[in-house]
Amino acid sequence: MFAGLAHLPALLLAVSGGPDSTALLVLAARWRAGLDAGPRLVAATVDHGLRRGAAAEALAVAALAGDLGLAHHTLRWTGDKPAAGLQEAARAARYRLLAEAARAAGAAHVLTAHTRDDQAETVLFRLARGSGVAGLAGMARVSPLPVSGPAPPPARPAGGARDGALWLVRPFLDIPKARLVATLAAAGIPWADDPSNRDPRFTRSRLRGMLPGLAAEGLSAARLAQLAARMRRADAALEAAVERLAADLAVPDLRPGAAATIAAAGWVRAPAELRLRLLGRLVAAAGTEGPVELGKLEDVAEALAAACAGPAPAARFRRTLAGAMVTLSGGRLTIEPAPPRRHGRNAAPAPAGPVPNPTET
């Protein structure tokens, strides 16, 4: 489960105190103890300040980490909490705090305890939102840590950090939650129970409650995880094809705020999925309003393809999308930052960090 991590200088373990992350703490410590040399392990618990028992749970994790010979830090989310979108805001705060703790610990990799059950919930969640192939691929074992900051390199580096990039590693992604619970029970190690995981106000909690019934019909967590693996394989093939299309059309290196001009005829001849993905990349780079919604991207791509094709292609086409201007003129397709909004309001600055992938939406 921890293959490929032994050569790293340090690892930050995200441990909430629940059964999955407690197993991560115990098994990572057991793995490290069996090595002659290996990474320094540091545990971190995020106290979101949303539950009365969270502080006591963080103390229990600190005590267990101490028994295992590991350093531990409690990270607190302070300030006002939003009334709407609380889980999304808490997730963003959690990853921001973990990123700060990782940098302080000299670690480029943050380990979380996402399991196969979590993968199944993610697939269901994205299926309900109408996600495409990339979204249904679910979570990857290794991915960039989702925080603002310098863009990571396009592939996981062979060792350590590069250009300050931080990486999220999910070593339990193929492991059922029940296996982790059984491991802790056999070792006599207690864990905390977070009642918010069963709160019906949250979509994930409701989906979690549906999983036993779906499993009875054959749609088990294992089947959903298998679907995610197959979607990830298909997504990788599509992304490779988009890279070839971008090279054929001489698309420049994409950076936040970058503009690009390509031949419309070459773009419209490509299969629909490939031209959609390439347009999404260009809009995400040039845009100033955050991630591109897949549905809106599909609408613009379809209208643009209709304008490019046919016996009498449109002389001019112009649409704005996510802060980017998409223009067809003289057989050339240009995607650039949209001009400032009317009424004196300037366009938002280009987002920091890696260019998002709209096909995950």
11 and 109 in contact (C-beta within 8 Å)?
yes
3-class DSSP state of 187: helix
- What pTM did the predictor assign? 0.83
pLDDT by position in tens, the chain (length 361):
998 899 999 999 999 999 999 999 999 999 999 999 999 999 999 998 788 888 899 999 999 999 999 999 999 988 887 878 887 888 899 999 999 999 999 999 999 999 999 999 999 999 998 999 999 999 999 999 987 544 444 334 434 444 578 999 999 999 999 999 999 999 999 999 877 777 777 777 888 888 889 989 999 999 999 999 999 999 999 999 999 999 999 998 888 888 999 999 999 999 999 999 999 999 999 999 988 999 999 999 999 999 988 666 677 899 999 999 999 998 999 999 998 876 544 444 444 444 455 555 5
CA 61 – CA 63 distance, rounded (Å):
5
CA 151 – CA 148 distance, rounded (Å):
8
Give binding residues as ranges.
16-21
Give binding residues for ATP as ranges.
16-21
267 and 275 in contact (C-beta within 8 Å)?
yes
Domain definitions of the chain by residue range: 10-225, 249-360
Q: Which residue has the tokens 């004196």?
A: 344
Fold of 10-225: Rossmann fold (3.40.50)
CA 198 – CA 205 distance, rounded (Å):
5
∠ CA(176), CA(179), CA(183), 5° rounding? 150
